[in-house]
Amino acid sequence: MTFPKLIGASAIALTLGLAACGDQAAIKSETNVETPAVVETVRKITKDDKFTYANYDQIQTTHLDLDLDVNFDAKVLDGTATIDFKRINPEVDEIVLDTKDLLIKAVGVKRGENWVPAEYSLGEDDELLGQKLTIPLAEDATKVRIGYRTSPEAEGLQWLSPEQTAGKKYPYLFSQAQAINARTMAPVMDTPAVRITYTANLRTPPELIALMSAEQDPYTPRDGDYSFRMDQPIPAYLLAIAAGDINFKPINDHIGVYSEQYILDASAKEFEETPLMEGANERLYGPYRWGRYDLIVLPPSFPFGGMENPRLSFMTPTLIAGDKSLTNVVAHELAHSWSGNLVTNSSWRDAWLNEGFTSYVENRVMEDLYGKDRAVMEQALGLADLKRDIAGAERPELTQLKLPADIAHPDDAFSQVAYVKGQFFLMFLEERFGREHFDPFLKDYFNTFAFESVTTEDFITYLHDKLHVNFPDALTREELNEWVYEPGLPDTAADPQSDAFKNVETQSAAWLNGDVKAADIKTADWSTHEWLHFLNGLPELNEAQYAELDSAFSLTGTQNAETAFAWYMQAIKGGYEPAFAELDKFLMSVGRGKFIYRLYDALKSNGQADMANMIFARAKAGYHPIAQRRISSVLGN
């Protein structure tokens, strides 16, 4: 939460008490405690983000101004970052920023009207955290300016050569700052606990367009000189940049799509219901607060399905299926405009506050627009993924919503636990309190904590104060603690029942029993969801059975990336070699982590380590640095 903050004493006591005694979320027992009137007190900022060097309990950055050349020849961003700050501790005599693989050229401090050179120091290089940049501050210091250059190997930036783009004529750059790669783009306090506004000037070759997660004119002339401003305070992980031969197509007056020309019309068509999603979100949780909402469809090496960069979600082209079957990812990234971007987890241990809330909101929006059946199918697919992640967890603590303090890497916070267990926890609360109470409660939560960063305990306290006190019998403290602080999936979790999926299961069983031929399975009306449920539910088959499915449904080489992924996972499990050439192509052309990490992992654990290594050797240069690192670790090299 940002500083300073007026807060009820009981809330403080509750929050501190939770941390101190380990008896977290003292919900029910607190109901009878006499609550003193709100006292003027200041919430102590505790540093609970271990993935930053920043001294943000002493001083916080407030504004970032970037002035950068986008140098495609050297594959670097080169220029200055000017930073405003506010002192939390008036005596603070230095500011500590995060950097990783940055070449620091010079540092200045503004004292009164003058800029003076600063005696900065750079700490030791840590493989995960990078280097701390410490700048001494005199009492009258008001700003710092850092001259710097990024590295061509910066994990947060992918530089594509013209040959790696669809147009083949111009290079392309895009960033991915979440979770802790903003520090490879600029010196920042790289923790979600600190928010900044930002402005930027970028210079590119004049044929290219540059975009950022900020206000910009979609019809700006191509002149290689672009300016941006983000007036709403955001955490550093939402800094984003893309540059390339990018075109724009409007969907309505404040929503549109950017992409390379080859996929622009198809993207605008695929995402044409985004305005309806925005409407559904606003009906539930109040106005969209960010001005424009645009989507950019990136090159296929983008390592995620989507990334909620404010005003400009970054999307994988694998969503362009032609039938809008994968647009829940748009609903998801848009929903982050409330859960995550407006109200932000204050450390990655609380990632479920971002991703679980967003998965919940996403699913509510899908239900609102497309009906209960689709929403329930998506819940059931998510639940199956969650069960897989819980079963495969390295240690049980990683299946708690509130993650332990000793998670090794922020990536560990983004399993299906944060997403689906988080979503199912909110579904549980919705069910217990009733939609009529839970919806307005969530809306108030987003408004109350707008532009702040919160912990799990802040949410629990708010839930207690605003809802549970009024309905003390809705749930017990034990039920709540189990959801938030214990591993696994509680028995109180919903069990989504889909008639469509039952039909799939019946037909699948009939085929597996030999009662019907694959070609007789009635798949004509199946959505992608039903296909996924069918494929994911298959046991290991024999060669003839794989071949029968493949010839009946042309699964190998299918253009829907989700279906292709599900099929190749089965093909790897059963050693169905006729699919391998297309699997190879898929791995060479798609860089979305959700697919490729598991495909490489499955190859390795099903006796195909050599094939995995050979494909990776060829594909690696085309993958995003984030994906390169993850796959190297999957393959153990």
Using CB under 5 A as the criterion, which residues of the chain lie in contact with Zn ion when the complex forms?
A: 355, 358
Nearest approach, Cβ of residue 446 and Zn ion (Å): 16
Q: Which residue is catalytic, options 30, 260, 270, 333?
A: 333
Contacts of 515 (CB under 8 A, 6+ apart): none
CA distances to 205, 207, 263, 344, 546 from 169, in Å: 13, 10, 16, 39, 41
| Alpha carbons 287 and 296: distance in angstroms, whole number | 22
Residue with tokens 């994968």: 326
Residue 175 in contact with ligand BES, rule: CB under 6 A: no
Of 419, 546, 568, 623, catalytic: 419
Q: Candidates 302-310, 517-525, 542-550, 568-576: pick the segment binding ligand BES (CB under 6 A).
A: 302-310
CB 405 within 8 A of CB 349: yes
- Of 153-161, 306-314, 516-524, 533-541: span binding ligand BES (CB under 6 A): 306-314
108 binds, among ligand BES, Zn ion, none (CB under 5 to 8 A by kind): none
**Is position 582 annotated as part of the catalytic site?**
no
Burial state string for 315-337 with b = 16 or more CB within 10 A and e = fewer than 16: bbbbbbbeebbbbbbbbbbbbbb
Counting other chains too, the contacts that 557-561 makes at CB distance below 8 Å and 24 or more residues apart are 557/582, 557/585, 559/321, 559/322, 560/321, 560/325, 560/326, 560/528, 560/531, 561/318, 561/321, 561/326, 561/586, 561/590, 561/592, 561/595
Least distance between Zn ion and beta carbon 364 (Å): 15
Of positions 65, 215, 245, 355, contacts ligand BES by CB under 6 A: 355
**Residue 191 Cβ vs ligand BES, minimum distance, rounded to whole Å:** 14
Q: Is 178 in the site for ligand BES (CB under 6 A)?
A: yes
Task: Report whether 268 contacts 249 (CB < 8 A).
Answer: yes
Judged by CB under 6 A, does residue 306 bind ligand BES?
yes
Which residue type occupies 362?
Answer: E
Distances (CA, A) of 312 to 193, 224, 548: 22, 20, 44
368 touches which of Zn ion, ligand BES, none (CB within 5 to 8 A by kind)? none
Distance CA(412)–CA(417), nearest Å, equals 10
Q: Which is nearer to Zn ion, 170 or 237 (CB)?
A: 237
For residues 25 and 10, what is the distance between their CA atoms, to the nearest angstrom? 13
Closest separation between CB of residue 413 and Zn ion, Å? 12
Q: Which of 81, 82, 62 is nearest to 194 (CA)?
A: 62
Q: From the CB of 189, what's the least distance to ligand BES, in Å?
A: 18
Could you tell me the smallest distance in angstroms from the CB atom of residue 298 to Zn ion?
16
278 is a site residue for ligand BES (CB under 6 A): no
Q: How far apart are CA 387 and CA 490, in angstroms?
A: 12
Which residue, 31 or 527, is less far from ligand BES as judged by CB? 527
Only segment of 100-108, 217-225, 305-313, 469-477 that touches ligand BES (CB under 6 A): 305-313
Query: Which of ligand BES, Zn ion, none interacts with 178 (beta carbon under 5 to 8 A by kind)?
Result: ligand BES
State the binding partner of 419 from Zn ion, ligand BES, none, CB within 5 to 8 A by kind: ligand BES
Tell the smallest beta-carbon distance from residue 355 to Zn ion (Å). Answer: 5
305 contacts ligand BES (rule: CB under 6 A): yes
Nearest of 386, 387, 381 to residue 416 by alpha carbon: 386
307 binds, among Zn ion, ligand BES, none (CB under 5 to 8 A by kind): ligand BES
Considering the rule CB under 6 A, would residue 258 count as an interface residue with ligand BES? Answer: no
> According to the binding rule CB under 6 A, does residue 329 interact with ligand BES?
yes
Stretch binding ligand BES (CB under 6 A), from 37-45, 193-201, 266-274, 301-309: 301-309
**Element housing 244 (H / E):** strand 241-244
Is 120 an active-site residue?
no
- For residue 517, what is the enclosing H or E element? none
Report the residue from 179, 230, 500, 631 that binds ligand BES according to the rule CB under 6 A: 179
Nearer to Zn ion, 81 or 307 (CB): 307
Between helix 274-285 and helix 351-370 the angle, nearest 10°, is 110
**What is the DSSP-derived secondary structure letter of residue 118?**
-
Binders of ligand BES in range 470-529 (CB under 6 A): none
Which listed range, 98-106, 197-205, 330-338, 577-585, lies at the site for ligand BES (CB under 6 A)? 330-338
Which residues 6+ apart lie within 8 Å of 589 measured at CB?
300
SS (H, E, C) 174-199: EECCCCCCHHHCCCECCCCCCEEEEE
* Contacting ligand BES within 412-431 (CB under 6 A): 414, 419
In the complex with Zn ion, the residue whose CB is nearer, 355 or 530, is 355
Residues counted in the chain: 637
By CB under 6 A, tell whether 365 contacts ligand BES. Answer: no
Minimum distance from residue 179 beta carbon to ligand BES (Å): 5
On the 0-12 / 13-18 / 19+ scale of CB atoms within 10 A, 514 is exposed
Cβ closer to ligand BES: 65 or 333? Answer: 333
Partner whose footprint covers residue 83, from ligand BES, Zn ion, none (CB < 5 to 8 Å by kind): none
Nearer to ligand BES, 51 or 546 (CB): 51
For residue 550, the partner it binds in Zn ion, ligand BES, none, with Cβ less than 5 to 8 A by kind, is: none
Nearer to Zn ion, 1 or 335 (CB): 335
Query: Among 23, 7, 9, which residue's Cα sits nearest to residue 484?
Result: 23
Nearer to ligand BES, 338 or 580 (CB): 338
At 2, list the tokens: 């940002």
- At residue 50, φ and ψ (nearest 5 deg) are -85, 0
Distance CA(359)–CA(357), nearest Å, equals 6
Largest CA distance in the chain: 85
- 20 by Cβ neighbours in 10 Å (0-12 / 13-18 / 19+) ranks as exposed
Q: Does 307 bind ligand BES (CB under 6 A)?
A: yes
* Binding pattern for the stretch 373-412 against ligand BES, x by CB under 6 A and - elsewhere: ----------------------------------------
Min dist. Cβ of residue 332 to Zn ion (A): 5
Please state the closest distance from residue 517 (CB atom) to ligand BES, in A: 35
**Listed ranges 41-49, 226-234, 300-308, 545-553: which one lies at the site for ligand BES (CB under 6 A):** 300-308
CB of 178 to Zn ion, least distance (A): 9
Catalytic residues: 333, 419
| Residues near ligand BES (CB under 6 A) | 178-179, 304-308, 328-329, 332-333, 336, 355, 414, 419, 594
